[in-house]
Amino acid sequence: MSIAGKNIIVTGGTSGIGEACAREFIRRGASVVMASIQQAEGEALEAELATIGRARFISCDVTQEDQVRALIEGAQAAFGPVHAIHCNAGAWGQGTAEDFDDAIWNKVMGVNVKGALLTAKHGIPALRAAGGGVLLVTTSVAAHVGFPRHAVYCASKAALEALVRCLATDYAGLVRVVGVSPGTIKTPMLAATCEGWDKPVEELYAEVARKIPVRRLGEPEDIAQAAAFLLSDEASYINGTILTLDGGTLALPPW
């Protein structure tokens, strides 16, 4: 199974799942452009990964079209034709419908949905110019369950799953469009969701782990392994598929 020699862009590639994917893709011989709004983390990661492979950080807010366009051009300038793009940048926010306002819409729907659409808009022509490629989207089990006080986040992930299916049919034969749908993965975003609770994070994680059939939280590397497969040529017949990686969480009966 190989992604060696491919030029891959990972949005949100400087933290959590995206960082693990960047590390794994480079370990497997790909060139990786990490894009995010984390300038300092991005520069440090580029310096570290450049010692083992071809890595570049490009600062990019995926909600800004000019920055997304510049990201794609920057990746082509850095490592040549772009073979795969992982739309992984994500933002989280909580609240009920009565808490809803433009700020949460712009943050959560802006990064998760508009960001993925803009990345597809400017990334797909680059993939086609490379002779075909893969667009991988990080969705979430939140697309399928109603997390309390997470209506906008859940709606954004359901929208992303619809986007994967639509793009997969629109560009079939030219660009494969696939998704990874993580369950509960130990990342800074997950830690942020635990803030304000009456227990330490590790205690909360242990409680959640007891409710997951495999009795552990996911590691970012669990997603990276699946992402590397989905981007590889060995996955060439997989299109429009969203792979759930949740330790069996969604398979569990509700009683």
Question: Which residues of this chain interact with ligand NAD, rule CB under 6 A?
Answer: 11-12, 14-18, 36-38, 60-63, 88-91, 111, 138, 140, 182, 184-185, 187-190
Shortest reach from residue 85's CB to ligand NAD, in Å: 13
Q: Based on CB atoms, which residue is closest to ligand NAD, 11 or 232? A: 11
Q: Based on CB atoms, which residue is closest to ligand NAD, 98 or 210? A: 210
Cα 165 → chain centroid:
16
Q: Based on CB atoms, which residue is closest to ligand NAD, 12 or 123? A: 12
CA dist., res. 6 & res. 32, Å (int): 8
Tokens, residue 91? 């933002």
CA dist., res. 179 & res. 241, Å (int): 6
Catalytic residue among 153, 171, 205, 237: 153
CA dist., res. 148 & res. 195, Å (int): 15
Cα 191 → chain centroid:
17
Shortest reach from residue 165's CB to ligand NAD, in Å: 18
User: Comparing C-alpha atoms, which of 42, 27, 25 is closest to residue 84?
Assistant: 25
Query: In one letter, which amino acid is 231?
Result: L
Shortest reach from residue 140's CB to ligand NAD, in Å: 3
Q: If 0-12 CB within 10 Å is exposed, 13-18 middle and 19+ buried, where does residue 131 land?
A: exposed
Is 171 a residue of the active site? Answer: no
Q: Based on CB atoms, which residue is closest to ligand NAD, 37 or 85? A: 37
Shortest reach from residue 51's CB to ligand NAD, in Å: 21
- Which residues participate in catalysis according to the annotation? 153
